[in-house]
A and B are shown apart, each in its own frame.
Chain A
Amino acid sequence: MRLVLIAFVAMVASSISHVAVAQSIEEKAAVCAGCHGENGKPVSPEIPVLWGQKEGYIYLQLRDLKRGDRKHEIMSGIAAGLEKTDMQELAKYFSEKPWINLQQKSADAPTASQAQQVASSAQCEGCHLSGYLGDSTIPRLAGQSETYLLKTMSEFRSGARANNAWMVTLLKSYSDSDIAALSKYIAGL
Chain B
Amino acid sequence: MTSFKFGTLSIGAAALLAGVLGASIATKAGDEIKNATKFGNMNSVTQDLLNRAGGDGNNFLLTNGDYTQSRYFPNKQINVSNVSKLRPAWVFQTEVKDSMETSPIVVNGIMYVTTSFDHVYALDARTGEELWHYKQKLGPITTYCCGPNNRGVAVYEDMVYLATLDAKLVALDAKTGKQVWETQVADPELGYSETMAPTAVKGKILVGTNGGEYGIRGFVKAFDAKTGKNLWTFNTVPESSVGVWATNDATGRDMHRDIAAEKAALAKNGDPYKTLGGGVWQNPAVDLDTNRIYFVVGNPSPDLDGSLRPGDNLYTDSLVSVDLDTGKYVCHFQYIAHDVWDMDAVSPPAIVKVADKDGKMIKGVIHGGKTGHIYVHDAKDCSLIRFSEAMVPQENMWVLPTKDGARMLPGANGGVEWSPLATNPSLGLAYAINLHQPMTYHVESSAYPAGKLWLGGAFKIIPTEEQWGNVTAVDYNTGKIKWQVKTQQPMIGGILATAGGLVFTGESNGQFEAFDAETGAALWKFQAGAGVNAPPSSYSVDGKQYVVVAAGGNAQVDSKRGNSIIAFTAD
The reply to whether B140 and A91 contact each other, CB–CB distance below 8 Å, is: yes
A67 vs B452: C-alpha distance in the bound complex, in angstroms? 14
Among B427-456, those with CB < 8 Å from A are: 444, 446, 449-450, 452-455
Q: Do residues B555 and A137 form an inter-chain contact, with CB atoms below 8 A?
A: no
Q: Does B141 contact A (CB under 8 A)?
A: yes
Dominant SS among interface residues on chain A: helix
Residues in A with CB closer than 8 Å to B321 are none
Does A165 contact B446, Cβ atoms closer than 8 Å? Answer: yes
A126 vs B558: C-alpha distance when bound (angstroms) = 8
Residue from B140, B449, B457, B555 in contact with A88 in the complex, judged by beta carbons closer than 8 Å: B140
Assess whether A69 is interfacial by the CB under 8 Å rule: yes
> With the chains together, A37 CA to B7 CA distance in Å?
71
* Beta-carbon contact of B458 and A126 below 8 Å: no
A55 touches B452 (CB 8 A): no
Of A67, A88, A165, the contact of B454 (CB 8 Å cutoff): A165
- A 47-85 to B, binary, CB cutoff 8 A, 1 in contact else 0: 000000011100110001001010000000000000000
Residue of B140, B142, B449 near A164 (CB, 8 A) is B449
Known contacts A91-B140, A136-B141, A169-B457; is-contact A164 B558 (Cβ 8 Å): no
A86 at interface, CB cutoff 8 A = no
Distance A54 CA – B555 CA, assembled complex (angstroms): 20
| A164 and B444 form a contact (CB under 8 A) | no
Q: Does A147 contact B (CB under 8 A)?
A: no
The 8 Å CB contact of A136, one of B138, B454, B558, is B138
Q: Say how far B557's CB is from chain A's closest CB, in angstroms.
A: 11
Q: Which of B138, B141, B142, B558 touches A59 (beta carbons < 8 Å)?
A: B141
Contacts of A170 in B (CB 8 A): 458
Distance of A137 Cα from B454 Cα, bound (Å)? 15
Which among A88, A136, A164, A168 has the highest number of chain B CB atoms within 10 Å?
Answer: A136
Known: A136-B141, A136-B142. A169 touches B449 (CB 8 A): no
Q: Is B449 a contact of A163 with CB atoms below 8 Å?
A: yes
- Asked if residues A169 and B444 are in contact (CB atoms below 8 Å), the reply is yes
Range, interface on chain A: 20 to 34
B450 pairs with A164, CB closer than 8 A: no
Contact of B143 with A by CB under 8 A: yes
Q: Is B369 part of the binding interface, using a Cβ–Cβ cutoff of 8 Å?
A: no
User: B457 to chain A: which residues have CB within 8 Å?
Assistant: 169
Contact B455 A59 (CB under 8 A): no
A69 to B454 CA separation, bound complex (whole angstroms) = 15
Chain B residue numbers with a CB within 8 Å of A121 are 463
Beta-carbon contact of B148 and A165 below 8 Å: no
Chain A min CB distance to B263 (Å): 26
Q: Which residue in chain B gives the minimum CB-CB distance to A95?
A: B140
Query: Does chain B have a CB within 8 A of A135?
Result: yes
CB pair B458–A169 under 8 Å, yes or no, is yes
Q: In the complex, are the beta carbons of B454 and A59 less than 8 A apart?
A: no
Which residues of B217-272 are within 8 A (CB) of A?
A: none
A92 within 8 A of B: yes
Q: Which residues of A sit under 8 angstroms from B139, Cβ to Cβ?
A: 56
Taking a contact as CB atoms under 8 Å apart, the answer to whether A126 and B140 are in contact is no
Q: Which residues between 316 and 343 of chain B lie within 8 Å of chain A, taking CB atoms?
A: none
Q: A164-B449, A164-B452, A169-B444 are in contact. Are A92 and B140 (CB under 8 A)?
A: yes
Q: Please indicate the chain B residues that have their CB under 8 angstroms from the CB of A137 in the complex.
A: 141-143
Once bound together, how far apart are the Cα atoms of A67 and B446, in whole Å?
17
Which residues of the other chain, B, contact A59 by a CB distance below 8 angstroms? 140-141
A135 contacts B148, CB within 8 Å? Answer: yes
Contact with A along B462-501 (1 / 0, CB 8 A): 0100000000000000000000000000000000000000
B304 CB to nearest chain A CB (Å):
11
Interface centre among A55, A123, A137, A169 (most CB of B within 10 A): A137
Q: A59-B141, A126-B555, A136-B141 are in contact. Are A165 and B449 (CB under 8 A)?
A: yes
CA distance A55 to B558 in the complex (A): 26
A164 to B444, CA, bound (A): 13
The distance in angstroms between the C-alpha atoms of A164 and B410, with both chains bound, is: 28
| Bound Cα distance from A56 to B452, whole angstroms | 12
Please measure, in the bound complex, the distance between the C-alpha atom of A56 and the C-alpha atom of B451, giving whole angstroms.
Answer: 12
Enumerate A139-180 residues with CB–CB distance to B below 8 Å: 163-166, 168-170
CA distance A77 to B77 in the complex (A): 70
**Contacting residue for A166 out of B138, B141, B455, CB 8 A:** B455
Give A54 to B143 CA distance when docked, in angstroms. 13
* Bound Cα distance A69, B451 (Å): 12
Contact B140 A166 (CB under 8 A): no
For the A-B complex with A121-B463, A135-B148 known, give 8 more contacts whose Cβ atoms are closer than 8 Å.
A56-B141, A67-B450, A69-B449, A123-B558, A136-B140, A136-B141, A163-B452, A165-B453
Ordered by A's residue number, 16 sampled pairs between the chains whose C-beta atoms are within 8 Å are A56-B141, A56-B142, A69-B449, A88-B140, A91-B140, A126-B555, A136-B142, A137-B142, A137-B143, A164-B453, A165-B444, A165-B452, A166-B455, A166-B458, A168-B446, A170-B458
Interface of B with A (CB < 8 Å)? 138-143, 148, 165, 189, 444, 446, 449-450, 452-455, 457-458, 463, 555, 558
6 smallest A-B Cβ distances: which pairs?
A165-B446, A55-B140, A56-B141, A56-B140, A136-B142, A166-B453
